[in-house]
């Protein structure tokens, strides 16, 4: 079970989260969210252990701007949270790992994902909202039973200590990891380390083979 902690922006907090050894850490470059990491120094990310996959999160950003930020911060992965096309994703795949996010509700058409299969490394399934994630709301996880492609996915949207045990119920061959964000915060962009510690302890008890069976 991979763990991604997303929506970080304060240097000391970033260091504290990195000490927990998540697999991925996400930094949002979207000016309509309070988790916007506009003041983040490249030196802060340079200090992170190399085994943590540094992930830049974007929403309908220009390709040139994304490439500049990849170079500035040394991102290992990018997460595209807008309406980016398969062709757009293809421009970045190979340079970095590409995570394409989709908001799910009961009307979501999983057929649209086929065009992305060769152009992304992961999908991320979040709750469908007008604000491109960070809502703190979860979706009906039984919708994941409608996903039948071979691209592994992250589960996002309203994951908290209160519902984390339910993650173990999800048995899907492509369930790769969880994305922890707004329900583990003291305020937007500032993670609650004690809550994250509890979440990490719980997640480490999950048998990945059992989950993916």
How many whole angstroms separate alpha carbon 101 and alpha carbon 99?
A: 6
Let me know if 89 is a catalytic residue: no
Instruction: Classify strands 153-155 and 175-180 as parallel, antiparallel or unpaired.
Output: parallel
Name residues whose C-beta falls within 8 Å of residue 7's C-beta, 6 or more positions apart in sequence: 26, 28, 33, 35, 134, 181, 182, 185, 188, 189, 191
Q: How far is it, in rounded angstroms, from Cα 127 to Cα 134?
A: 9
How many other β-carbons are positioned within 10 Å of the β-carbon of residue 77? Answer: 21
The verdict on whether 62 is a catalytic residue reads no
> How far is Cα 101 from Cα 82, in angstroms, rounded to an integer?
7
Of the candidates 19, 121, 126, 150, the residue annotated as catalytic is 126
CB 138 within 8 A of CB 157: yes
Q: Find the catalytic residue in 6, 23, 39, 118.
A: 6
Only one residue has tokens 């039984």, namely 142
Q: Which residues are catalytic?
A: 6, 126
């Amino acid at each position: 079970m991979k763990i991604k902690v997303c929506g970080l922006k304060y240097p000391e907090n970033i260091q504290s989260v990195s000490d927990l050894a998540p697999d991925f850490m996400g930094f949002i470059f979207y000016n309509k969210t309070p988790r916007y990491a506009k003041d983040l120094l490249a030196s802060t990310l340079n200090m992170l252990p190399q085994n943590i996959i540094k992930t830049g999160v974007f929403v309908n950003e220009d390709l040139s701007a994304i490439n500049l930020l990849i170079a500035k911060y040394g991102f290992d992965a990018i997460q595209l949270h807008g309406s980016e096309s398969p062709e757009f994703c293809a421009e970045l795949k190979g340079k970095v790992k590409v995570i394409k996010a989709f908001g799910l509700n009961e009307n979501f058409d999983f057929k649209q994902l086929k065009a992305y299969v060769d152009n992304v490394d992961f999908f991320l399934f979040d709750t469908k909202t007008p604000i491109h994630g960070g809502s703190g709301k979860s979706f009906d996880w039984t919708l994941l039973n409608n996903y039948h492609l071979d691209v592994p996915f992250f589960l996002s949207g309203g994951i908290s200590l209160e519902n984390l045990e339910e993650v173990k119920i999800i048995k899907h061959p492509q369930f790769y990891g969880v994305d922890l964000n707004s329900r583990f915060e003291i305020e937007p962009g500032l993670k609650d380390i004690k809550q994250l510690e509890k979440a990490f302890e719980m997640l480490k008890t999950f048998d990945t083979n059992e989950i993916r069976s």
